[in-house]
Each structure stands twice: as structure tokens, then as C-alpha cells.
Structure 1
Amino acid sequence: MTSGPVLVLGGSGYLGRHICAAFVCAGATVVQVSRNTPDRTVPGAVRMDLAAASPAELARLCADTGARVLVNAAGVGWGGSDRQMEQLNVEFVGRLTEVVAGLPRPPRLIQLGSAYEYGPSRHGETIDEDWPPAPESSYARMKLRGSQAVLRAAEQGVDGVVLRLSVVCGPGTPRTSLPGLVAARLAAGHEELRLAPLRDYRDLVDVRDVADAVVATARAPASLVTGRVVNIGRGAAVPVRRLVELLISYSGRPLRVVEERAAEPSPRSDMPWLQLDVTRARDLLGWTPRRTLEESLKDLLAEVGCGPKDG
């Protein structure tokens, strides 16, 4: 790994917490940056509203910490408004790349993108990094613009790389994600859950495997990763119906699922099938996913206090 501190933007969020923990386990000095109350388990923490941060403030943050690796885990997901997504997923990333390009000793910039940037694929297709992006939802289009800003900066000499993440699950999964929602309802003792029709397929990767991939990216030679897009997923599509059934089964609690058509389709339904090719991650980073889906879901349930059945 490049010597020097690791700066994790959005470090107290779902992905950020696990990324900070993985770098600490790897022996790195970690500086966690977040708008919210910092995680006290991480020795270095800075409170900052990144959406409102000026270029001067961002430059001072990088200079004061001496960061050699900068991970952008900040962003607004599906629950945010278009304006919120524009501010943090697009405008902030643009400012960040300009700041990094102007530093005397620029850190490696690792941008966490999304597999939704690719747009729809046909059932059975596997998406590799050469797939021409054609996103259809506002979220995916804005994530793509952020990724493109990093890739343009890399063309101008910034040591930047984009990790396109598939659907992330595991301990701490937020309720804005289907696994997190189902786990929360099970933990609360609900007897019924109403969902949109469970027809889609998703490539599900454990959040701790994602964190390991970020650490591997920080360690990789610049000649291998600078200016590259790297898919991070499990490499297999799982029916979301099966995902829900497994969570209910592992919890040992009854939950009746009612599928009903929503008044407006979810923007996530623009990708009924998602399966990533993760060959490049193996070849460039030496990374492959290690946790099974069973492990991810059982650990998710355990964290929300809904212990899975023994065995």
C-alpha cells in the first residue's frame, strides 16, 4: 500500500465504516470524514459537510492529513432528491478531482461507482467494464457523471480509479435496500410485508468484500489501475424472490410477503437483470469475493437482533 494516511470521505456511512475498518486491519492510518458524528472506533475523524465544502477546504483537508490514498465513499443514494444527488454525486466529485489534480503530492483517488451506471442488460448477459454505459435512472446517470469526472482527471495525470459496485449487502445494510428492509421488518416482528413484484435478479456482494477490494485497489501498482474501471461484485445473479425467502428462512420468523404493483415503477426496475464480470478485479487487484450469500444474510440478521436459526 502507498505509504501515508488513508482519507475516507463518507467514512461514517454504510460502505465507509467497513472500508475504514478494513484499512485499520491492514495497518493503515485512517482519517474518517463525515457530515455526521464520527465513528469513535476510528482514531482519526473529521466532521465536514462535503456537499458544501469549498475547493480550499478540501485542499486543506488533504494537505493537513497528508493522505496518500483518498477513497470517495460519499454519495446520495436512492432515497435522495435529484438535487441532493446532483450536489454530492456530481458537483462534489468534480470539485474533488480538481483539488486532487492541483495538490503537490496527489493521493490515489478511489471513486466508488455503481453497476447501475451500465444501464439495462438482457437476461443471462454478463456485464464487463467495456460495456457502453447507458443508464436510465437519475441516480445511475449522476453516478456515471461522477465516475467520468474521475476518469477524465486520470487522463490528465491524476492517479484515479473507479470501482463499479454491484448491489451491496451484509451487516449494516440500510433499509433503503431490499435486504435491509426485509431484515428490519423481521427484527420488528412484522407479520406482513408489501413489496413490488419480485421479478428481478441482482448480483449481490458482501460489504466486507467490497472493503477488501478497496484496500486491494490502494495497494495495486498505478500502472495496473490508474484510469481504469473495475467491477466489484459476486459475479452471479440471484433472484430477488430467493433473497427474500432466504432472509425469512434464516430468521426463523414468520413473515407473509404480499407482492403488489406500485403506482409508479421503481427506478431500480430499469435493470431486471444484473450480473457483473469480475475477472478484471481478480487479474488487476488479486481480489475475489470470499463471503457467501448465506454468510452475508445471516450476519445482516444478527446485527439487527434477528438471530438466524442454528445450522
Structure 2
Amino acid sequence: MTRVMLLGADGFVGAHVGARLASEPEVEVTTVTRRGDVDADVRLDLAESPVAVAHTLRDAAPDVVVNCAGSTAGEASSLAANNLVAVGNLVDAVLTAGRPLRLVHLGSVAEYGRIPAGAAAREDSPERPVTPYGLTKLAATHLVRTAAAAGVDAVTLRVTTPIGPDAPVSTLAGRLVGQLRQIEAEGAGGVTTGPLDDVRDFVDIRDVAEAVVAVALRPRGRAALPSVLNVGSGVATPTRDMVSALLALAGFTGGLRTDGGGASRETALPWQHADITRAVEDLGWSPRRTLESSLHDLWHSALAPC
């Protein structure tokens, strides 16, 4: 039996990782969340107390720690606390656990910063983040690398733009589906987004979960993985094309406005594309779902409001 501690189990990525882990008969999962209003085994704010993090790790005695916790938006202070301080406390706890642990940390392609148009970021590409989010995620990755250098079996998965069932309203696709379902319920209305000029590497959230589980449950004794692996679809898609496909799927023929704001991160990072060769070759993982299937399943996962 492999014991896995799943941090951030209530988030978009964490929930899908938890569902995938639950399908493994020889895995026992301890779910950990920051919020107290969700169902989880442990309530813990990773940024609040390094002592509490260490005690939780000691009590659960996991073989693997999967960190899906963190923030994608908010004030710089909040991003620093949830993406950096939290990981620092976690790494300290792992280093002092007194037993061998595997650490799987969810990073972001935003750690590369501005990727040149037409290029795909490799794991050895320059790391020059230009947003507070990217800066805090890169700093956290450096902490995980420090753990790996100290002998911890630690890997950061740099994820592109996850999409698929239950995407939250903090994502463009999730917000768009929410608007479309509202229009469907009310019988009228238009859709508003921010600018749609950027290009994104959309990866199905279930493929992300498969990659996480592949690292988490990788048999001991195999060749060590690189400390950083990109996880994406390997396809650069104009955001406008994704939006058009979702509108067509919903049968929407109304108006679309692109002056709604909410695009600061997208404006700062106009091109996103990751080279996933290492994950394919070293991990034996590859994305299986198309953007069309991701959008289909996202649309049908969101019921019209009552």
C-alpha cells in the first residue's frame, strides 16, 4: 500500500488528481485543504505554521506528498504566502521528516516568462517570469530543486493551461461556460471576455492528473526523473479559437464582447507553448485528450443554474 498525502485536494487540479488516485486500489490518500468548509481529512494552511506542517507530515507518514496547493491570482502578498512560503514550509518538513519521501510539486509554465512566439519552452529554457504569479512559482521550484539536491526524490511538473470538466470561474473557459449557462437559463444575453489575442497550450486536466499520478506512483529503483518536467498538450492554440469552439459547442449565436478586462496575465504572456518531449520520453506519459473533447466535457459538467 502506498500512502499519498494530497495537498490542495479541493482545487481544480487537486480534485482531479484525487479522483485519479482513488482509482488505484493499492493507494491510500490523505486529503489536505486550507479551507475549513470542504470535506477533507486534514485542514492545514501550509503558509501559517512550519511546525504544523511538520507535525501533519509526521502524523500522516506518507510515502508520497503531492502539492497541488497554491494561488493563481490575488495580491502579491497572497501569492507569496500561498505559493512560496507554503512550499518553503513543506520542503523544510520533508527534509526533516526522518524517512524517505517523494515530493511531487505542481509548477507552472509561467515560470519561463515570455516565451518567444513560435517557440516551445524546454525545461532548460531561460526562466524569466514577468508576473508575480510566475515569480512566486519559480521561487517555489527553486526550493523543490534544493530538496532534490539534498537527496529528496522531488519533481516539479510545470503545467501549461489546464482545461476540462469543472474548470473554475478563475479560468477563461470556466467563466465563459458560466456565462453561457446563465444565458441558457435566462433565454437572452451576450458573452463578455477580455482580449483574445494570446496563444495558449491548453492541456486536459485529466491528462495533468495522469502525469501527476505517473510520477507519484513511479516504481522505486527506476532511473531518477529530471527535477523539472513540462506537462502540456504540446499544441499552441489561439485563445480566440478555443472560445469560438466553445461557443459553437454551446450553440451560442449571440454577441461576443472582448473588452471585459481580466486579462493582465494573458497580456503579459501572449504566447504559451511547452515542449513535452522529456515527459513523454522519461516518464512515459503523453496527453491523450483533444481540446475538442476537453471543451465537450467541460460544457456538460456545468449544469444550468436553477
1:184 partner letter: G
Q: Give 1:38 deviation, angstroms.
A: 7.0
* Post-superposition offset of 1:265: 6.2
Alignment match, 1:56: 51
Larger mean Cα displacement after TM superposition, 241-250 or 224-233: 224-233
Corresponding residue number in structure 2 for 1:296:
294
Task: Measure, in 1, the Cα distance between the counterparts of 2:59 and 2:37.
Answer: 18
How far, CA to CA, are the matches of 2:31 and 2:223 in structure 1? Answer: 27
CA distance in 2, matches of 1:13, 1:250: 26
Shift of 1:157: 1.3
Query: Equivalent pairs: percent with the same residue?
Result: 37
Q: Which residue of 2 aligns with 1:229?
A: 228
Cα shift at 1:114: 0.3
Partner of 1:309: none
Higher deviation after alignment, 194-203 or 68-77: 194-203
Contact preservation (8 Å) 2:192, 2:260 = no
- Asked if the contact 1:217/1:225 (under 8 Å) is kept, the reply is no
User: In the comparison of the two structures, how many residue pairs are matched?
Assistant: 298
Which is further off, 3-12 or 65-74? 3-12
- 1:29 match: secondary structure: strand
Alignment partners' CA distance in 2, 1:237 and 1:8: 30
Q: Return closer, same or farther for 1:12/1:38 CA change in 2, 3 Å cut-off.
A: farther
> Cα RMSD between the aligned structures?
1.8
Q: State whether residues 73 and 111 of structure 1, in contact with CA within 8 Å, keep that contact through their aligned partners in structure 2.
A: yes
User: What TM-score, normalized to structure 2?
Assistant: 0.92
* Kept after mapping to 1: 8 A contact 2:46/2:90: no
CA distance in 2, matches of 1:261, 1:12: 28
Alpha-carbon contact 1:191-1:254 (below 8 Å) kept: no
How far the C-alpha of 1:55 sits from its partner, in A, is 2.3
Q: Distance in 2 between matches of 1:203 and 1:16?
A: 20
Is the 8 Å Cα contact of residues 46 and 87 (structure 2) preserved in structure 1? no
1:106 is displaced (CA, Å) by 3.2
Question: SS at 1:5's partner residue?
Answer: strand
Once the two structures are TM-superposed, the CA of residue 227 in structure 1 deviates from its matched residue by 5.4
* Cross-structure match for 2:71: 76
Q: Give the Cα–Cα distance (whole angstroms) in 1 for the partners of residues 269 and 117 of structure 2.
A: 10
Alignment of 1:1-311 (within 5 A): 3-27=1-25, 28-37=27-36, 40=39, 45-52=41-48, 54-78=49-73, 80-189=74-183, 191-220=189-218, 221=220, 224-225=223-224, 228-260=227-259, 262=261, 266-305=264-303
Match of 1:131, as an amino acid? S
Q: Is the 8 A contact 1:137 1:268 kept in 2?
A: no
Query: How far off is 1:65 after superposition?
Result: 1.4
Residues 261 and 101 of structure 1: is their aligned pair in 2 closer, same or farther, counting only changes over 3 Å? Answer: same
In 2, Cα distance between the equivalents of 1:244 and 1:34? 32
Write out per-residue CA displacement over residues 50-78 of structure 1, whole angstroms, 9 at most, x where no aligned residue: 221x2222122112212001011000112
Q: TM-score, normalization: structure 1?
A: 0.91
Post-superposition Cα deviations, 1:271-304, rounded to whole Å, max 9, x if no partner, equal 2111111111111211001111111111111111
Structure 1 stretches (4+) deviating beyond 3 angstroms? Answer: 37-40, 221-227
Tell me by how many angstroms 1:253 deviates: 2.9
Distance 1:24 1:128 in 2: 32
* CA shift in 2, pair 1:227/1:186, >3 Å: same
Whole-angstrom CA distance in 2 between matches of 1:224 and 1:256:
54
Work out the CA distance in 1 between the residues paired with 2:36 and 2:41.
Answer: 9
Q: 8 Å contact 1:155–1:227 — kept in the other structure?
A: no
User: Which structure 2 residue ranges, 5 or more long, are not aligned?
Assistant: none
- Structure 1, unaligned runs of 5 or more: 307-311
